[in-house]
Amino acid sequence: MLSISIHANNISKKYGNRIIFSSINFDASPSHPCAICGPNGSGKSTLLEILGGIRRPSSGSVRYTQNGENIENNYERFFGFVSPRLRFYDELTALETIQFVSGGADIMGKSVHLLEQFGLNQYRNLQIGHFSTGMLQRLKIITALILNPPVLLLDEPTSNLDETGKNTFFTLMQKIIPHKTIVIATNDPDEAALCSRRIVLGA
Amino acid sequence: MRKILRLIRKDLLVEFRERRSLFIVLSFAISTTLSSAIASAGTSLGAWERAILLWIIILFAGIIGLAHSFTREEERGTSLFLRLSSPPAFVFFSKLIFNICFFAVLEAVIVSAFVFFHEGDVPSPFIFITIILGGGFALSSGATVLSAIAAKSAMRGALFAVISFPVLLPVLIAAIRATALCFERHDISAASEMIFFLAFSGALISISYLIFPHIWNNE
């Protein structure tokens, strides 16, 4: 398993003249999950997307390192991503979506295991357009985990989940926290409690 | 190549399960071909009139489908998922190949209907088919990257129509000219337009490949 750390260096983001946040510095590494907290509109999701290279910061930089060595661009291959902004294809089934994410890797056994774990195995051949928001959230978590990425960027990962879904997620997280670099954007106290560090935006 | 095929398979599944856009494009193609045949019934159209009519139908029916390829990703919010799942070059080539195949199928439907309803003879079927496919290849090559540019704008459909016209006009003119020459039995002159189609497609695909990551990764 790769051990990857994320280093945020003096990150600022503004839209027009509106400064969303500025001078954000922190490091995230395996076994030290980090929570990004703050009120609505404080830029939690934006900061998480900047960490994943999905958005560009107005200033500052993000570095991914492996054993202290810088990793070049294309960070997508290193992280699993859960976000309300992530939308799947309604016409594909749950299994087809997981296979699409896997990029042809042999993940059938792991897919079935995760689908069973999150209570979706019986719906694996159902088109996603027929899924509820809670089922979609479970599927997002599965797609983030399927390739066993060394980094997880999670934006409100338990939103729309019922108690069973939340329990499954928290149990799984307790197991993988020591092995992965995890950053969670959240206002949920239970999600934040998973993390050993907090970055508070808009404070 | 396997990763590109995976993306094409995804597009095929989405397209055929959604059906709506496929139905719109095919119904437009058939209805315009039939309407033009009924409107011109009893009139003997010349080679140039037939070529112009044929390519206008192909262009407008095809553009509806081609504009759709990236616009749908943005409108339905799936572009982020696609972006995280595959590198930009794979996305570009999968959409390009899908569009070229889609255009070829559409051309087969339109040309069959056109030849049937307009009862025109085609002196050199092989050269005629080569011109139709070559023109379609050039139009798809241009329209793919234009669709990606337009999809990032708020006025997607309108922008695509505006920017595609000047870029695709030379192809349209060359295709009409080649088809008319083919109808007039000037096969050698008609076939020479293929060089233009290939050069145009080659240049546009190369430029598109270079600029696509910047378009695609734009916030």
Tell me the DSSP string of A114-163: HHHHTT-GGGTTSBGGG--HHHHHHHHHHHHHTT--SEEEEESTTTT--H
Cα–Cα distance, B106 to B136 (Å, whole number): 9
Tokens of residue A29, six digits: 């590494």
State residue A102's pLDDT score: 86
Check residue B78 and give its pLDDT. 92
* Nearest CA distance, B86 vs chain A (angstrom): 8
Dihedral over Cα of B117, B118, B119, B125: its sign: negative
pLDDT value for A1: 64
- Please give the pLDDT value at position A73: 67
User: For residue B60, what are the contacts with CB-CB under 8 A and spacing of at least 6?
Assistant: B28, B32
Query: Angle of helix B156-183 relative to helix B187-216, nearest 10 degrees?
Result: 160
Residue B215 phi, psi dihedral angles, 5° rounding: -70, -50
CA distance B158 to B161: 5
**Is some CB atom of chain A closer than 8 A to the CB atom of B78?**
yes
Contact A89 B219 (CB under 8 A): no
Strand-pairing partners, residue A34, are A183, A197
| Domain segments of chain B as ranges | 2-216
Could you read off the pLDDT tens digit of each residue along chain B, which spans 219 residues?
888 999 999 999 998 888 887 888 888 888 888 888 888 876 778 888 889 999 999 998 888 888 788 888 888 899 999 999 888 999 999 999 999 999 999 999 999 888 888 776 777 888 889 999 999 999 999 999 998 888 888 777 778 888 888 888 999 999 999 999 888 877 777 777 888 889 999 999 999 999 999 888 876
pLDDT digits (tens, 9 = 90+) for A51-93: 988 899 999 999 888 877 888 766 777 889 999 999 999 999 9
Positions of chain A with pLDDT under 50: none
d(C-alpha B201, C-alpha B168), whole Å = 11
Query: For residue A89, which residues of chain B lie inside 8 Å, CB to CB?
Result: 10, 13-14, 76, 78, 81
Confirm if B28 and B68 have CB atoms less than 8 A apart: no
Is A127 part of the contact surface with chain B (CB cutoff 8 Å)? yes
Say which residue the tokens 């990425």 belong to: A149
Q: Which residues of A touch B14 (CB under 8 A)?
A: 89, 91-92
Helix (H, G, I), strand (E, B) or coil at A24: strand
Please tell me if residue B153 touches chain A, with a CB cutoff of 8 Å: no
In CATH, what class is A4-200? alpha beta
Of the candidates A81, A92, A104, the beta carbon closest to that of B84 is on: A81
For residues B103 and B168, the answer to whether their CB atoms sit within 8 Å is no
Chain A residues touching B13 at Cβ < 8 A: 89, 91-92, 96
Residues B94 and B5: their CA atoms lie apart, in Å, by 7
Of B3, B77, B219, the CB nearest to A103: B3
pLDDT, chain A, mean:
89
DSSP-derived 3-state class of residue B91: helix
Residues with Cβ within 8 Å of residue A132, at least 6 apart in sequence: none
Nearest to A8, CA basis, from A25, A21, A28: A25
In the structure encoding, which two tokens stand for residue A4, read together?
A: 């990857």
**pLDDT at res. B92:** 93
Chain B positions in Cβ-Cβ contact with residue A155 (cut-off 8 Å)? none
Whether the CB-CB separation of A23 and A10 falls below 8 Å is answered with: yes
The Cα A104–Cα A98 span in angstroms is: 10
Predicted local distance difference test score (pLDDT) of residue B219: 65
The ipTM (two decimal places) reads 0.90
3-state SS, residue B146: helix
* Closest to B171 (Cα-Cα) out of B63, B91, B98, B96: B63
